[in-house]
Amino acid sequence: MATRTYISNDFINGAKANTPIGLSVFAYGAVLGMLCAQKGVEIYQLTLMNVFIFAGTSQFIIVDKWNNISEIFTIVAAALLINLRYFLIGASLNSLFKKSSLRDKFIYMHLVADENWAVTIERSKRESITPLFLFGGGICLFSIWSIGTYIGYIFSGFISDPSKYALDFAFIAIFTALCFNLYQGKRNLIPWLIAAVVAYVTEYLFGGNLYIVLGAIAGSLVGVILEAKK
Amino acid sequence: MNNHELYALIIILLVSIGTYGLRLSGLLLSGKISDEGKIRIFLDYLPPTLLLSFVTPVILREGLAGIFAIFFIAVCMYKTKNVFLSMVIGVVTIAISRNFFY
């Protein structure tokens, strides 16, 4: 019984910890909902995407190309390229899932988004948590995200430009704050700098979303090279 | 069901399977890796470098306001360790810049 209480606490703590970032997830969802209404996406199609894809940026890509939906290969490739970072995100969750069953891994991984992943990784450096923390965050974000998209869809004519209030910057600000919290000292400086520079240059030269994955791989490789020497 | 709906369903299905596959395979493949050595260091560096790569181009696109926002966030995190407060400070900095300086 004691274990059960502990586990459900982790779920609730995860949901709570993701509520602040939910503000920007809500705004982001509302923008997608508005876009869906304008492009003629049906509510059931939006719902299918929210439930089964649950990856905001790739949903934007699909909706953005809604009028050229017959280009199946191009759209699927673009969406999956953007979601390529989820492979690295999954890999970085290895130690959190160390004691989990295969069944838990299959269930909990679906609701992993950038936000609850970042919140979970940062929390796991400070205290001992279970994958339920991640899952609680996922359920929280899924609810907020879905409500945001429906509200945007219904009120598509009323919501003015969210960028005026810098709501689009909210998740960037949170990611930056979480990143600073992961700083472990001077040995991180060069790998972090390399990641930032590679990401910036790649984005500048090629656009798209490949820069996220390339920057992370470059920075992490430099970290390995520098620390393996010692 | 018309062609457009069918194509949309196919796309949603393929992206769903692909995205879930990426999430799960990253975790399952990393589980095969030992705790020691270079791959461990690599995996430890992934979260912060992934976050940094994510935010850097967006921050620099905001120009000077972006730099200021990051500076305030850094100071706030250092002093308070409060993520929500840091977010508010960052967002307010950008909002002020967009509404009054452009």
> Which has the closest alpha carbon to A144: A230, A67, A55, A30?
A30
Inter-chain residue contact A227 with B43, CB threshold 8 Å: no
Question: By CA distance, what is A124's nearest residue in B?
Answer: B47
Question: By CA distance, what is A183's nearest residue in B?
Answer: B48
Task: State the average pLDDT over residues A170-189.
Answer: 87
What is chain A's alpha carbon radius of gyration, rounded to the nearest angstrom?
19
Q: List all residues of chain A from 81 to 120 with a beta carbon under 8 Å from chain B.
A: 83-94, 97, 105-106, 109-110, 112, 114, 117-118
Inter-chain residue contact B47 with A198, CB threshold 8 Å: no
User: To the nearest 10°, the Cα dihedral for A50, A123, B45, A117?
Assistant: 0
Q: Count of domains in chain A?
A: 2
More confident residue, A160 or A19: A19
Q: Name the pLDDT band for A1 (thresholds 50, 70, 90).
A: very low
Å from B74 to nearest chain A CA? Answer: 7
Boundary (domain end) residue, out of A149, A164, A182: A182
Q: Is the pLDDT of residue A2 over 60?
A: no
Answer yes or no: are the C-beta atoms of A214 and A202 closer than 8 Å. Answer: yes
Q: Are residues A154 and A170 in the same domain?
A: yes
Q: Are residues A197 and A164 in the same domain?
A: no
Q: Are residues A112 and A149 in the same domain?
A: yes
pLDDT tens for each residue of chain B, 102 residues long:
789 999 999 999 999 999 999 999 999 998 777 666 788 788 889 888 988 998 999 999 999 999 999 999 999 999 988 877 898 899 999 999 999 886
pTM: 0.77
Instruction: Determine how many CB atoms are found less than 10 A away from the CB of residue A67.
Output: 9
Q: Is the pLDDT of residue A127 over 60?
A: yes
Q: Are residues A121 and A86 in the same domain?
A: yes
At A75, the amino acid letter reads I
Answer yes or no: are the C-beta atoms of B19 and A80 closer than 8 Å. Answer: yes
Render pLDDT for A58-95 as a digit per residue (tens, 0 to 9): 898 899 889 888 889 888 987 887 788 899 899 999 99
Q: Is the pLDDT of residue A111 over 80?
A: yes
ipTM: 0.82
Boundary (domain end) residue, out of A148, A167, A182: A182
Q: Are residues A59 and A120 in the same domain?
A: yes
Q: Are residues A138 and A202 in the same domain?
A: no
Q: Are residues A28 and A66 in the same domain?
A: yes
Render pLDDT for A207-218 as a digit per residue (tens, 0 to 9): 877 888 899 999
Q: Are residues A89 and A143 in the same domain?
A: yes
Domain that holds residue A165: 2-182
Q: Are residues A72 and A104 in the same domain?
A: yes
**pLDDT the model gives residue B12:** 97
Q: Are residues A50 and A163 in the same domain?
A: yes
Q: Are residues A88 and A163 in the same domain?
A: yes
Q: Are residues A58 and A137 in the same domain?
A: yes
Inter-chain residue contact B22 with A223, CB threshold 8 Å: no
Question: What's the sign of the alpha-carbon dihedral B8, A107, A214, A196?
Answer: positive
The 8 Å CB, 24+ separation contacts for B27-36 are B27/A90, B27/A91, B27/A93, B27/A94, B27/A97, B27/A105, B27/A109, B28/A90, B28/A105, B29/A91, B30/A90, B30/A91, B30/A92, B30/A93, B30/A94, B31/A94, B31/A97, B33/A94
Q: Which of B13, B14, B17, B23 to mutate to probe the A interface, most A CBs <10 Å?
A: B23
Å from B70 to nearest chain A CA? Answer: 7
**pLDDT the model gives residue A89:** 92
Token digits for A198?
């590679």
Contacts of A122 in chain B (CB under 8 A): 83
Contacts of B41 in chain A (CB under 8 A): 220, 223-224, 227-228
Render pLDDT for B74-84 as a digit per residue (tens, 0 to 9): 999 999 888 77
Q: Name the pLDDT band for A5 (thresholds 50, 70, 90).
A: low
Q: Which of A172, A193, A194 to mutate to probe the B interface, most B CBs <10 Å?
A: A172
Å from B65 to nearest chain A CA? Answer: 11
